[in-house]
Structure 1
């Protein structure tokens, strides 16, 4: 496909087929998403319909890497044929130019000799363009191949007529121009296809993460054996074996073994993550050093990786509102260019009395130089690269409209729990009154608390596996309801709990201990006492602020974006957390409906609002806000919950997502500027406005400029791939 008119033609043709409900064609990836009834129409029927309107149906494009390899080979073969045509075309056009302008005496039959030399190369080089143009014309689709066919065909036919003296003098012929035109147009198609392929690298890399087989445990003849089977045959609940260095084929939960797993290509998390029994693994991750077995929890399109791929593809196939402007221009572009070309021919031939073929070459230059392709590619290429870039950092953007709106965000609302804070209590600090080291205090406390089911017990272990810690053996463990726990280690009885437990066991707390307890409470920490005959230490846990929250919020302020914290928690707690991270506007003690009402209030004041939350309790606010950013972690990603999904739950990525959106929209505007500027400047030049100053823009120059315009726009989009969001540059 060469331009937006091509994608429209395919959309129109397929959409009119019985049983087809919707069709969306992506010009950049040259794919079509078709929703159809398989009982009424088949994929072969759809393919045949595409072929009849002049395009080539290459097969089903899905997230299966094997199937996509076949399509890649077909595309590579097509590119190779273009190269052959380019080489042949430039060789013979150079030969003809030498014969025409090199003072080579071919005698009176020179024009016939040049016709004989050019006819086969012309057919070979121009055949795909002319075939596509005539087929499009047959189906009343006025696209760029029609324009190219008109330019190439007119130049060659006019030269033939001139050779046989049907247009007067034969000394001004365009045989070299005809072949060079085809060569430059083929070069443009080759470079454009090559560049367009690179814009979708992010999707290709994600698809390559998918495994084609897996090693599973199966019972055969009463024996448990390991068998390698195709990935589509693996069922939910199967036990899969993964060895060091292997790719994890599907989502699951470890049932045996442990290892470090590299999830960077899926979640953007750069540091390998430790996994042991009970841990979840994501398909597409790379096992680093250990071997393990896991039970499959998601297969095929339900895996996190498949959902990520689908979401990225959907976003790349979508169109932002700004695309409507380009589409309006393109709709009238080709008819207007034809009118300008005809007017130019009439002015030069009729009004100014120039030779027919000279005037005709100006007509051809105008037809060929005009390029709606660059306009059509300006937005989708930048969108494709931008969405792919975001996915590289574990940021999933749902569609093009989200990108465009994100560029305008001026107010961000942040939920407190799980967004700014960790969302669950972790160990904060130890106030030690004994002669023991803090590590020993914690070892004693953890040894007793390992037997408890209270949330504080998990917090002492930082919500990690208790079996990973070196602990003492505990005797006479007892859970004292509402007060704490106690147990005996090496013959010494220890008490862990609140002041009531201490009072009950006649343990007197000094003024310092009481004062420290009050101080910890004011800092919004939950504290427990460790004692034997006397208080040994205060151990505090808290829902800690996430490591990067302060940096993320500071960067939002640097970008001129106002922030507010909104929470259902009490005002004192919310304000303390807000103060820590630098937020001054606080809304507390509100239910989900109250959060939604606050979003509406800000929008009524003309604000472009982004809401950042966990995607579950905050669903109404995420949906109502202009850009909902949902915090997710690994396999818990709620794909439907927001306009932007942060896979690894890092608030820095929320800011990075906004920065990528701004950069992408900036590149869209730059692309549109160059696409418009190219046509505005070169069309008058091709029409001969500079001829009085001795500058004649030959048709082959027009073809080269046309090819360059599309490639320039795509290259500008590709440069986005090297962009690193400002907030991530230091880290």
Structure 2
């Protein structure tokens, strides 16, 4: 099932989100669709015709365009904000002048201007300041829908229309109900424009992560052809091209240094502002920053294949996901405007039938105020804007969340389960000792083990193979190779079956291993990992390896425990080596000697107790556990399968990023709850007040222009609250 991202334009509230999702899900082949109001995007899964999807969205009154065809430019939000601020000026100025001079107004006019002229001047200003609102409202009506613009457009139009009746046909209105509402309509439009302008500017800041990532690559590069330099657009770079990187430039594509040397900051990937030395054959990544040196690199990956492009895609997809509660809120927002219309009609009828004199004026005022004060926009923004900022903050701190659900679940994890090798340890074990049976050459033991190990991706296998290469040993040709993840490997060398693996694995082959116990036990007490080597039906030797604990592992575990998390180790290594390493990391609960299936069962056991589990691993044998856990966390240096199975990727070897990831997850969910509480509390409080709940106490109704200001402030409050997530410390 393929994922595609689309840019959706024309949405203004949660009701729009619901309608766009409905239109997309109605397209043949679409399996799932999630629409995000905060960044105006849609993530669509399934096999479908993109053209049909775009037509369906257009029929619903909106525009869809593949994200790959959209230029990500944050200035778009700034331009929109500036346009809205400018539109607010004429409405705000004229509304203020009318209000200030209303006490001196007469039946003939105000400020020396006839009411007949003022009537059409107000209409002209309303069209200038609110033309986009009325256009959107008409589009909604045409599609038999109702949204925020419908409410605002109807409320302000009613204000002007009522004033027209008072002006041109006063005999239809009771004398004490003959009030002009020109200033109310103008103030509402002014406040709405100001609020939406501030909201657009704030949303630009919230969605800046992708724009900032894309800005990390240069627009032009220097390509070397036959010794000559030529400046070409980045889009023209092809795999195999030689590019010259000068001091202070950003790396344009992924590649390999072929000439020269320098130091490069990989903060974009790791979150660590540390310069890393690069020389011939060193790999460099697009978006990283070159220091003072100059070098030539070969382009190995370009366009969508670069690490940077994949990071951008991960961030975009994560920002487009939404939790179940957000989907519920969108459904509520989808009918919210219709509910408000019903409340406005019912309230107006109640005031007209049972209210004090002048009933018509009171009925009209409460209807207009109810329409204007309701804010489905705050409901629609409450969750997506928090997720957008949270994912962006995590990415800047070196934590990628390709599955947005992880942002919501990681902070809720009760148990943090760590793999040992390559996760808590450096993942670069080294051979420290080799022992053989009498009559077997030690080098022969290493050669056999390395010939099998070179076919495996396990860190211990890599260490054994590297040791053999360092000694310039010749690898033997292996056939019938079989790998039992997390336990061992077997193959035939020269037609004879050979085995390399844990003690339990060799025992499972009906081969005796106990003869080595006296020599192996002291190694295990020192925290070393022991690999057994057998040929045919005899164990011919053991290889001891040592892997150092990551220097930050103990601090990371301490931080997680301080958060109230239960930290455990799940490892396939022997119990004594695992216990030794666990003590170094300050982990009290150790489950050792586990096969991948046994790790899986341990996680299921935790989950059966009602506990949420986050599994942290990096190897192929960890993939099933990562998939089973509520949240799977992998280091970026892990195997491809582990990364694919993970919900969270730590883009650096620093485990201290895991407590940060937990903090940003908890902070984001807390922020979402705050936003939802505010959005619901605002609407449930504002609507009764607008309907006249406080009139018996105060003797006054809420002015419509105050309702407009409150509505604009409510959605802005949600966005500004979400921006506080940028303050979470890494």
What is the TM-score normalised by the length of structure 1? Answer: 0.79
The separation in 2 between residues aligned to 1:142 and 1:626, in whole angstroms, is 39
Map 1:426-441 onto structure 2 (within 5 A): none
Partner of 1:31: 41
Match of 2:352 in 1: 349
Whether 1:653 aligns to 2:653 is: no
Q: Does 1:709 align with 2:714?
A: yes
Q: 2:12 aligns with which of 2, 6, 30?
A: 2
| Alpha-carbon distance in structure 1 between the residues aligned to 2:328 and 2:46 | 30
Deviation string 1:474-496 (CA, Å, 9 cap, x unpaired) is: xxx99999xxxxxxxxxxxxxxx
Counterpart for residue 309 of structure 1: 312
Q: By how many angstroms is 1:22 displaced?
A: 6.1
What per-residue deviation string (whole Å, max 9, x for no partner) do you get for residues 429-461 of structure 1?
xxxxxxxxxxxxxxxxxxxxxxxx9999x99xx
Flag structure 2 segments of 5+ consecutive residues without an equivalent: 1-10, 433-452, 476-519, 531-543
Partner residue in 2 for 1:434:
none
Instruction: Assess, with a 3 A threshold, how the Cα gap between structure 1 residues 524 and 33 changes in structure 2: closer, same or farther.
Output: closer
Among 396, 399, 402, which residue is 1:398 paired with?
402
Shift of 1:114: 2.9
Q: How does 1:63-462 map to 2 (within 5 A)?
A: 67-69=71-73, 72=74, 75-103=77-105, 106=108, 110-164=114-168, 165=170, 166-169=172-175, 171-218=178-225, 223-355=226-358, 356-425=360-429
Aligned pair in 2 of structure 1 residues 19, 599: CA closer, same or farther (>3 Å)? closer
CA separation of 1:76 and 1:662: change in aligned 2, threshold 3 A:
closer
1:690 aligns with 2:700: no
Match status 1:642 vs 2:642:
no
| 1:258/1:659 CA distance change after superposition, 3 Å | same
Question: What secondary structure is seen at the aligned counterpart in 2 of 1:651?
Answer: coil
The residue correspondences of 1:449-528 to structure 2 (distance < 5 A) are 522-524=525-527
- Shift in CA distance, 383/53, structure 1 to aligned 2, threshold 3 Å: same
- Whether the 8 Å contact between 2:34 and 2:322 is mirrored in structure 1 is no
| 1:16-60 Cα shifts (integer Å, max 9, x gaps) | 46787765432111133457989x664xx8667656654466x65
SS of equivalent residue, structure 1 residue 422: coil
Q: CA deviation at 1:153?
A: 1.2
- Does residue 571 in structure 1 map to residue 575 in structure 2? yes
Q: Give the whole-Å Cα distance in 2 for the aligned partners of 1:549 and 1:297.
A: 34
Taking a change above 3 Å as real, the CA distance of residues 656 and 15 of structure 1, as seen in their structure-2 partners, is same
> 1:371 touches 1:679 (CA, 8 Å); kept in 2?
yes
Root-mean-square deviation (CA, aligned residues, Å) is 3.5
In 1, Cα distance between equivalents of 2:429 and 2:28: 58
Q: 1:178-220 deviations in whole A, cap 9, x for unaligned?
A: 11112212222212211111111222211111333332222xx
Closer/same/farther in 2, CA of residues 582 and 14 from structure 1, 3 Å limit: closer
Q: Give 1:267 deviation, angstroms.
A: 2.2
Measure the CA separation in 2 of the matches of 1:525 and 1:175: 83
Is the 8 Å Cα contact of residues 158 and 357 (structure 1) preserved in structure 2?
A: no
Select the residue among 68, 92, 95 that pairs with 1:62: 68
1:21/1:680 Cα in 2 relative to 1: closer, same or farther (>3 Å)? closer
Q: Quick one: distance in 2 between partners of 1:700 and 1:365?
A: 8
TM-superposed CA distance for 1:657, in Å, is 0.8
Look up the SS of the partner of 1:229 in the other structure. Answer: strand
1:293 aligned counterpart, secondary structure: strand
Question: What is residue 555 of structure 1 aligned with on the other side?
Answer: 559
- Alpha carbons of structure 1 residues 399 and 243: separation in structure 2 relative to 1, 3 Å: same
- The counterpart of 2:610, out of the listed 606, 609, 633, is 606
Normalised TM-score (structure 2): 0.79
In the aligned structure 2, how far is the partner of 1:638 from the partner of 1:234? 31
Instruction: Flag the 1:410–1:197 CA change in 2: closer, same or farther, 3 A.
Output: same
SS of aligned partner of 1:389: helix
Structure 1 residues 93-138: Cα deviation after superposition (integer angstroms, max 9, x where no partner):
1122234223568469953243133121122122211110111111
Q: Is the 8 A contact 2:529 2:574 kept in 1?
A: no
1:640 alignment partner, SS class:
helix
Q: Is the 8 A contact 1:63 1:309 kept in 2?
A: no
Q: Describe the shift of the 1:103–1:262 C-alpha distance in structure 2 as closer, same or farther (beyond 3 A).
A: same
